[in-house]
Amino acid sequence: FLRVELSDAKNLNIWLQENTLQFSAQGHGAKGDNEYMFSLEFLEPVRPERQVDIKVKKKVERWWDRLTLQEKNLFLAPDFDRWLDESDAERSCRELKKTGLKLEKHSETYLGLKKGYLFMYNLVQFLGFSWIFVNMTVRLFILGQDSFYDTFHTTADMMYFCQMMAVLEVINPLLGLVLYSHVTGRNVILFVIFGSLEEMQNQPAVFFVFYLWSSIEIFRYPFYMLACIGTEWKLLTWLRYSLWIPLYPLGLYLKVTVAVIQSLPIFDETRRFSLPLPAALIYLVLMFWVRPPHSNIHLFILSQHPQFHLF
Nearest to 256 by CA among 205, 217, 183: 205
Share of the chain above pLDDT 90, in %: 12
Beta strands in the chain (DSSP E): 7-16, 20-29, 32-41, 301-304, 307-310
Looking at every residue in the chain, the average pLDDT score rounds to: 77
How confident is the model over 164-177, as pLDDT tens digits? Answer: 888 887 776 666 55
Among the listed ranges 5-19, 138-152, 155-169, 275-289, which one has the minimum average pLDDT value? Answer: 275-289
Strand partners, 22: 15, 39
Residue 202 has, within 13 A of its CA and on its CB side, a CA count of 3
Predicted local confidence at residue 103, as pLDDT:
59
How confident is the model over 104-138, as pLDDT tens digits? Answer: 666 667 677 878 888 898 899 999 999 999 999 99
Beta carbons within 8 Å of 245's beta carbon, 6+ residues apart:
none
Predicted local confidence at residue 299, as pLDDT:
44
Residue 3 has, within 13 A of its CA and on its CB side, a CA count of 5
Beta carbons within 8 Å of 244's beta carbon, 6+ residues apart:
216
pLDDT of 2 over the 70 cut: yes
Confidence band, pLDDT 50/70/90 cuts, at residue 82: low
How confident is the model over 4-60, as pLDDT tens digits? Answer: 888 888 888 888 888 888 889 998 887 888 899 988 888 888 888 777 777 788 888
Report yes or no: 181 and 240 within 8 Å, Cβ to Cβ. no
Average pLDDT on 234-244 reads 87
Return the C-alpha torsion angle 164, 167, 172, 178, nearest 10: 90
Confidence band, pLDDT 50/70/90 cuts, at residue 278: low
pLDDT of 159 over the 80 cut: yes
Nearest to 234 by CA among 242, 264, 298, 169: 242
pLDDT of 294 over the 80 cut: no
Q: How far apart are CA 42 and CA 18, in angstroms?
A: 8
**CA dist list (Å): 256 to 142, 205, 251, 303:** 30, 11, 9, 32
Q: Which domains can be identified in the chain, with CATH numbers?
A: 7-101 (2.60.40.790), 108-291 (no CATH)
pLDDT of 181 over the 60 cut: no
Beta carbons within 8 Å of 112's beta carbon, 6+ residues apart:
none
User: Looking at residue 52, what DSSP letter applies?
Assistant: -
Beta carbons within 8 Å of 231's beta carbon, 6+ residues apart:
none
pLDDT of 310 over the 50 cut: no
Predicted local confidence at residue 161, as pLDDT:
92
pTM above 0.75, yes or no: no
